[in-house]
């Protein structure tokens, strides 16, 4: 039987630096746990545009369709700000999500005890936080037609269309309910059914799907209230299900509850392939941070935890995912910090590569 396959797309800015630490950890699992992967690498985003004049070459897209999982670093940077919209680095990421049909985006927001003081909220509000936002990723206002900037009378008008079909809502909802069944059996769906017809349909479909999961406690909330509740008392939630636009906003709001974007992973999952594994792309929530690229200041933990999600959701290695997550928790508890997490006494400042080495040390200690 062949090894599971991973396509690494480091991308731009700090992407190659944080991905280098993931490659070390992939190697550790091969050497110490005999969990082998066939790893290949290619370009996406600005690096792909520099090489090919497109943010995602067709050959790379074909590779992404064939592998068991894609690991992506980050894309973009001011160097590409003046490019036409159609070839901006972010279009490469959007193409991957759309053509792989990665409709379910899982964004955990977990606050490690050692970092509770880094949140802008009071420690007791965020300590022990562990929620999951499930964002529908391939439909809604980011993809709806018509869209564009048009002449209307004597002025221009910008148009984006919020559009959802029942089946698009249903498959995202089913993904969230299945996840809730594996967690604490509690799900809150967020939309704007009070002012948007797409929100009315969303609520109706989620309620219908929820009837198939009677063990899950289902609630509904308007998304603007959800944003307020996330900063008021986030631990009232477990799994949050929402659409593409609101999911983008709410997950970034939840991200800052944990103290640093450099800590947060994500998984984007699609329909099962022939081998039963879902099509999948894993990436940190943070951006390419070109201002610190090449300086060894980047925090690789979000990218490392994204690989932990790959172990859990793509490779049926839940126990090893737990091992990696606990290794990260141990390193943070020991006071090891990259530049984004400094500011308290008694910590040990480390570079990007030294943080990766510290996680590997904690993995060694777990054996």
**Residue 78 marked in a binding site:** yes
**Residue 86 marked in a binding site:** yes
Cβ neighbourhood burial of 85 (10 Å; 0-12, 13-18, 19+): exposed
Category of 263 on φ-ψ map: left (φ > 0), alpha (ψ -120 to 50) or beta: alpha
- Give the C-alpha separation, 67 to 7, whole Å: 7
**Residue 117 marked in a binding site:** no
**Residue 164 marked in a binding site:** no
**Residue 294 marked in a binding site:** yes
**Residue 360 marked in a binding site:** no
For the annotated catalytic residues, the residue numbers are 142, 192, 224, 248, 252
Phi, psi of 137 (to 5 degrees): -120, -15
- Give the C-alpha separation, 102 to 280, whole Å: 7
- Give the C-alpha separation, 278 to 142, whole Å: 23
**Residue 316 marked in a binding site:** no
Distances (CA, A) of 171 to 105, 164, 309, 323: 12, 12, 20, 30
**Residue 214 marked in a binding site:** no
**Residue 20 marked in a binding site:** no
**Residue 87 marked in a binding site:** yes
Beta strands 38-41 and 5-11 are: parallel
**Residue 318 marked in a binding site:** no
Distances (CA, A) of 123 to 89, 111, 129: 37, 10, 10
Residue ranges of the binding site: 77-90, 97, 107, 135, 224, 248, 252, 287-299
Residue ranges of the binding site for substrate: 97, 107, 135, 224
Residue ranges of the binding site for NAD(+): 77-90, 287-299
Residue ranges of the binding site for Mg(2+): 224, 248, 252
């Amino acid at each position: 039987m062949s090894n599971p396959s991973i396509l690494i797309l480091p991308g731009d800015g700090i992407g190659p630096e944080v991905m280098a630490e993931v490659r070390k950890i992939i190697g550790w699992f091969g050497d110490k746990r005999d969990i082998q992967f066939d790893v290949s690498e290619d370009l996406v985003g600005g690096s792909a545009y520099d090489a090919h004049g497109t943010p995602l070459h067709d050959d790379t897209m074909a590779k992404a369709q064939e592998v068991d999982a894609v690991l992506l670093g980050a894309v973009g940077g001011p160097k590409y700000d003046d490019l036409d919209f159609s070839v901006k680095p972010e279009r490469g990421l959007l193409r991957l999500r759309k053509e792989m049909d990665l409709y379910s985006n899982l964004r955990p927001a977990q606050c490690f005890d050692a970092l509770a003081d880094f949140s802008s909220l009071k420690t007791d509000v965020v300590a022990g936080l562990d929620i999951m936002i499930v964002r529908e990723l391939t439909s809604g206002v980011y993809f709806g037609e018509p869209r564009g900037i048009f002449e209307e009378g004597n002025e221009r008008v910008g148009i984006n269309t919020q559009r959802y079909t029942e089946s698009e809502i249903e498959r995202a909802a089913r993904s969230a309910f299945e996840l809730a069944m594996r967690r604490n059996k509690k799900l809150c769906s967020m939309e704007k059914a009070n002012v948007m017809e797409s929100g009315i349909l969303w609520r109706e479909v989620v309620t219908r799907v929820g009837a198939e999961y009677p063990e899950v406690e289902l609630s509904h909330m308007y998304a603007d209230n959800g944003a307020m509740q996330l900063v008021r008392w986030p631990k009232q939630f477990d799994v949050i299900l929402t659409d593409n636009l609101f999911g983008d906003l709410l997950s970034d709001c939840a991200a800052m509850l944990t103290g640093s974007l450099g800590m947060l992973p994500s998984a984007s999952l699609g329909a099962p392939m022939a081998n039963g594994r879902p099509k999948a792309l894993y990436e940190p929530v943070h951006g390419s941070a070109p201002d610190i690229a090449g300086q060894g200041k980047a925090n690789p933990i979000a990218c490392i935890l994204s690989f932990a999600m790959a172990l859990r959701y793509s490779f049926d290695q839940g126990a090893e995912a737990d091992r990696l997550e606990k290794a990260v928790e141990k390193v943070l508890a020991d006071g090891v910090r990259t530049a984004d997490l400094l500011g308290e006494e008694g910590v040990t400042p480390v570079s990007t590569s030294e943080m990766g080495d510290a996680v590997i040390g904690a993995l060694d200690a777990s054996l």
